Structure 1
Amino acid sequence: MSREHRPDPFAERSDRAVHPPKAITPTPALTQDDLRGRRVIVGAPGLGWRYDLRADEKVVQGSRTYVPVIPEQDWYRAELEQVEVFAPLVPAERVWIEKLTVAREVGGPVDGKSRRLVSLDAPPEQPPILATESLRIAGRRLVQVIDGVERRDLRAVTEVYSSANGEICIRVATELEWYRWVWSGQYPKTLEVPARLLWLE
């Protein structure tokens, strides 16, 4: 008598195979124009990096070029409520733009764990990771991929769960709704999305 076969609920359905979205490749801000509203990373080689920031247009003072940079929460609030926010000027050589590029293969498992070593000279490329492969998902940036079309600027509001019909899902909100929740206390409008369609940025 054969044992009953139970399908893995996290396995990707072959009839709806999803190709990964583009990866994030940090690109020096000095090489880019039209920075307003772009996602940026700031920091210094060997010290570390800050993410979830937005830029404004470059400013030249004397012989130096700077980029006004603000946390995304403040950027969304300024855009929605049309208020002025303070944007510190960061030397342009310490700012990288999050540019979308086709993902490359990166290092595989190390010592039985899924890790990879990076250089400290610049922010590392961020390849997309299928949402179901992450142990923690709430609050993370997500990309939804349907028929090859990428929908970005989403945040996970829940961890992975089983929906009423047995589908493995995550509730998501737009980033505007996510950040408005912070400054207003108003719970965000969310959408239940099959986890197999979602990737961590």
Structure 2
Amino acid sequence: MNQTFQFLQANGGELLYKTWEHLYISLIAVVLGIMAAVPLGVALTRMKKGAGTVIGIVNVIQTLPSLAILAFFIPLLGVGKVPAIAALFFYSVLPILRNTYTGILGVNQNLLESGKGIGMTAGEQIRLVELPLAAPVIMAGIRTSSIYLIGWATLASFIGGGGLGDYIFIGLNLYQPEYIIGGAVPVTIMAIAVDYVLGLTERKVTPDGLKDLKDAS
């Protein structure tokens, strides 16, 4: 306990910076994942063939070891935050893509026919009907992806990406538990906080009727 207190005294300012650095890397990767996976998930629902193949390919990428993905980007992007974000982006895509695809397919077809009946274009149906109704499922994928990435972002330290992984690996290399605790505890707190914030966001973007059904269940 005394060692942990001394660690906080000596590294408090740097700890805050590395916490912000860790969050920055993780959230940028998640935002890029949302920008890529949500439109792709919607597009896959319009494909009669090939959707399963695309999701299967993304599944294969997801199974590749994290360090292998990080190492793959070093010759292409060098070291630092950029290759770390690129690697994390790959891992962010699958949960969001899969949930977007599943959520859009689960929209009641009668509602879509009603939209067509009142003259909605395909784009308006996606924006005003399908995405709002699929929002809880999509947000569940975003929450899962965000929590995973906050944990995986510790590996960014291996390629100079910074973040709280620096403390964890220093602690492992020097056999100093206070460094491991100093890196691991903020990661855990960050994951819980981000999940809570995204849970509030999920409720805001979910149509009221779906909220009532969810609360009733």
TM-score exceeds 0.5? no
Shorter chain as normaliser: what TM range? under 0.3
TM-score by length of 1: 0.23
Query: Which of structures 1 and 2 has the bigger CA Rg?
Result: 2
Bigger relative contact order, structure 1 or 2 (CA pairs below 8 A, ≥6 apart): 2
Question: Which protein is richer in strand relative to its size?
Answer: 1
TM-score by length of 2: 0.22
Question: Which protein is richer in helix relative to its size?
Answer: 2
